[in-house]
């Protein structure tokens, strides 16, 4: 995470404290994780990858194919950033000291067992291992690992992101890295639906009445719900594939400039719980709710 993105995240945290009830309890921790990422990359700066050939990229997009960029990450840097997150976690909640110590032992072993470079799949496998073998809960693991990839990908893929013809893209997955979105927005200027990749931050327009996961356009099987008539956040769901994603109506924020949706996502995790309670699963495959919370909500 570079300094500019860090500053935007901190500004968005301040805004979200005003917009979402209860977020002020979690925002100091999220702010600390953002700070940890910024400090880590200040000491270990990344060199962005060369831009994808612009002509070749446009040909792929026109053909309806994502670039599916999956840049390898250095195992040492993945572990280093996660340990930085661990320090911030313990500082925010000393009760997690034993859990973080156990996690660090697995991270050391991961570093010994891994090649110098690891893939996105390797990172997800590490996340699954830590959830299974330690006291790390799924919602916290999802936050830490998704934010880790977000921090790396935003920097590595920036040159290609700047020349990518997203205006030619109509798919539901990210045209740059291929991930499935977890959230999007309704644009302030025209109300158009714009999805955003949680991993690399790429944004693209998507048909309002269409599921990004199964391409369903049957209005009778598509819907959304809000909470207590709060139109700032909508949970869009598809009854055909039983998956959901969140849409943030920027027109309700009265926001100037860019909105950092990853922070709004973290400020509205109660909507994810409600979606899971209704039987919908996240189309992004990012599980923001612990299984015991789903059971409690259903009971």
The answer as to whether 51 is a domain residue is: no
Q: Decide if 228 is inside a domain.
A: yes
Using CA atoms, how far apart are residues 138 and 94, in angstroms rounded to an integer? 19
Q: Are both 194 and 91 inside the same structural domain? A: no
Give per-residue burial for 165-200: e unless 16+ CB within 10 Å, then b.
ebeebebbbbbbbbbbbbbbbbebeeeebbbbbbbb
* Domain end residue (candidates: 156, 188, 219): 156
Note down the domain range covering 103.
3-45+70-156
Given a cut of 80, is residue 196 above it in pLDDT?
A: yes
Q: What's residue 3's pLDDT?
A: 82
| SS3 label, residue 224 | strand
Q: Is 20 contained in some domain?
A: yes
Q: Would residue 52 count as lying in a domain? A: no
Read off the pLDDT of residues 42-79 as tens digits, 9 standing for 90 and up. 999 999 999 999 999 999 999 999 999 999 999 999 99
Q: Is the pLDDT of residue 240 over 80?
A: yes
Q: Which residue has the tokens 């995240």?
A: 9
Assess whether 103 and 191 both reside in one domain: no
pLDDT of residue 42: 94
**Predicted pLDDT at 135:** 93
> What b/e string do you get for 117-156 counting C-beta neighbours within 10 Å, with b at 16 or more?
ebebebbeebbeebbeebebebbbbbbbbbbbbbbbbbbb
Q: CA-to-CA distance for 281 and 239, rounded, in angstroms? A: 11
Clarify whether residues 144 and 26 are in a common domain. yes
Confidence of residue 294 (pLDDT cuts 50, 70, 90): confident
pLDDT of residue 296: 60
Asked if residue 121 and residue 29 are part of one domain, the reply reads yes
Which secondary-structure segment (H or E) carries 184? strand 183-186
Residue 146 has pLDDT above 60, yes or no: yes
The last residue of a domain, from among 156, 182, 217: 156
Q: Say which CATH number the domain at 171 has.
A: 3.90.1670.10
Picking from 200, 143, 134, the residue whose alpha carbon sits closest to that of residue 27 is 143
- Is residue 233 located within the same domain as residue 98? no
Domain boundary among 133, 156, 179: 156
pLDDT at 228: 80
**pLDDT in the model for residue 207:** 95
| Cα three-residue angle 22-25-30, rounded to 5 degrees | 115
Q: How many domains does the chain have?
A: 2
């Amino acid at each position: 995470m570079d300094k500019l993105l860090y500053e935007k995240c901190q500004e968005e945290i301040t805004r979200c404290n005003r917009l979402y009830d209860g977020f002020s309890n979690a925002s100091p921790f999220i702010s600390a994780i953002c700070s940890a990422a910024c400090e880590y990359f200040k000491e270990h700066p990344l060199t962005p990858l060369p831009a994808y050939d612009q002509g070749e990229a446009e040909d792929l997009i026109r053909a309806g194919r994502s670039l599916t960029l999956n840049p390898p990450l250095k195992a040492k840097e993945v572990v280093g950033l996660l340990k930085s997150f661990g320090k911030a976690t313990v500082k925010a909640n000393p009760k997690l000291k034993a859990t973080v110590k156990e996690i660090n032992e697995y991270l050391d072993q991961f570093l010994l067992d891994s090649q110098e470079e690891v893939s996105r799949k390797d990172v997800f496998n590490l996340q699954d291992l830590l959830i299974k073998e330690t006291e790390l809960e799924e919602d916290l693991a999802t936050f830490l690992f998704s934010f880790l990839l977000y921090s790396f990908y935003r920097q590595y893929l920036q040159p290609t992101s700047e020349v990518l013809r997203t205006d030619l893209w109509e798919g539901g997955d990210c045209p740059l890295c291929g991930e499935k979105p977890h959230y999007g927005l309704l644009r302030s200027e025209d109300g158009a639906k714009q999805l955003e990749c949680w991993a690399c931050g790429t944004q693209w327009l998507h048909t309002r009445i269409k599921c990004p996961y199964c391409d369903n356009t049957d209005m009778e099987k598509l819907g959304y719900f809000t909470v207590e008539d709060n139109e700032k956040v909508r949970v869009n769901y598809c009854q055909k594939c039983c998956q959901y994603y969140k849409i943030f109506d920027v027109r309700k924020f009265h926001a100037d400039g860019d909105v950092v949706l990853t922070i709004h996502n973290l400020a509205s995790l109660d909507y994810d719980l409600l979606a899971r309670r209704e039987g919908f699963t996240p189309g992004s495959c990012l599980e923001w709710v612990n299984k015991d919370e789903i059971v409690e909500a259903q009971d």
